[in-house]
Structure 1
Amino acid sequence: MSTSSSSSVVTSYISDLSSMTDPTDFPQQSLRLLDTISRCPICKEFFNTPKIGDCGHTYCSFCILRSLAIERNCAVCKKILSDHQLLKCVTTEKIVDSWKNIRRTILKGANEEFRKNKIRDYIRRSDNTTLSRTYSNLKSSSNGKKNTKKLGYTYLYTPESSPSSLPSLPSDINENQLETSYMKICIQQ
């Protein structure tokens, strides 16, 4: 095989890999299950012309016929099976075709929901680290005008300090003492 021919085969194979789908693409277990049952247990691809045996297991037509040519048993439960006992599954074929058409959209939404839940959990855990006291300082300009800015300060403890080890803050905060255990956030209102 020449180098250019070999290169095109490898490129073709790699592009085929990027289009492969897998039930583990979904973060939710229920969607993984739906994706799994839409696939042939032999080739692991979506059913193509599905056939069902007397035992109730479904396969791609080509996969089960090839399997039965080697071994006359159901590939899942090993019950004796012949090609004459296989029935076409028209409804399964329609369901799988519909799933394949909507799968990308559902996957996108499922991943977005999973990402939002992760962010929500992170924020919820972060809220537990906020020190319950928020301090406000009023600063006025030196010329005595009514222009005053309200500055809210929130102190957060760092991960290496635990809530039980935090000292209670005095009303007169010595910010130099807080630098090692707290992070100061200033919010102008």
Structure 2
Amino acid sequence: MDTTTMTPAYLAAENYRIGSEHEAAHALAYMVHGLSFDHITLDDAGTGLVQPPPRMISNDVAARVALAGQVMDLNWHRQHNGDEALCDIMDYWDCAADDEDAHDIHNVRQGTGFAGLIWAFAFADANAELIAQAGRSLVKAGGFMTGSEFAEAVNEMPVEPSHLLRSSYVALVEPYMVRLMEIEQKNV
């Protein structure tokens, strides 16, 4: 897209859409791991939250769930700025490593999170339409859904989530690992 067409109104609408998909991706990642959540929210600015009940989950699952939403943001940047945008974003994550909120994202550079990032890219690609539909459901609900309302909405979608949520992972993982490593080598 030509950057001259990125008006403030366009960017605000895109931010809201991406925010809805960002939160929907987190929620769907919880679901694919068999985990529930209390509710999902989205405010007028496109910022939201998926509130899980208190529980212990593995670092691998925590990284996958955390990064599922982040990948929706990355995909927008990749669409508008190319794969090289990943280098800038990953560098930013390194700089933000001291920020408490960046803990799971920082794990990307520490090993287990890298696998979570690869999983999140594959998950987002395999489930792009489902994530978009789930985001639209959140918007249609006024930016708030309980976990059970969200699950019911997903189950009513014409896309079969039990198939898509688990499909395409192996086929997608290797190309992403290769591409991210190529980008990382260029960045060194």
Q: TM-score, length-normalised on structure 2? A: 0.29
Task: Name the structure with the higher strand share.
Answer: 1
**Structure number with bigger Rg:** 1
Task: Name the structure with the higher helix share.
Answer: 2
Q: TM-score, length-normalised on structure 1? A: 0.29
Q: Which has the higher contact order (CA 8 A, sep 6+)?
A: 2
